[in-house]
Amino acid sequence: MPIYDFKCKQCGKEFSITASYTSITRCDTNCPNCRSTNVKKQILKNFGIIFKGEGFYSTDKKQKKEDLYA
């Protein structure tokens, strides 16, 4: 599940919540410090993607056109 970063507009505390996309859009998020619902979701900062398999790197062996239609 993704991690969402929030910042409370009332007290300024930043916090994170791990939740599915559907649950995070349907519920009100409260600040754990002051319990305010006046929070703003922050833009994604860093995230990692792992590509597995062939064809994701320029150093991979490229297929010839004949091999594609075999």
Residue range 3-60 forms a domain whose CATH class is: mainly beta
Q: What is the mean pLDDT of the chain?
A: 77
Distance between CA atoms of residues 6 and 46, nearest Å: 14
Q: 3-state SS of the chain? A: CCEEEEEECCCCCEEEEECCHHHHHHCCCCCCCCCCCCEEECCCCCCCCCCCCCCCCCCCCCCCHHHHCC
Q: What is the mean pLDDT of residues 34-52?
A: 79
What pLDDT shows up at residue 62?
Answer: 60
Domain coordinates of the chain in residue numbers? 3-60
| pLDDT bucket at 20, cuts 50 / 70 / 90 | confident
What pLDDT shows up at residue 59?
Answer: 62
How would you class 8 by CB atoms within 10 Å of its CB: exposed for 0-12, middle for 13-18, buried for 19 or more? buried
Q: What is the mean pLDDT of residues 37-56?
A: 74
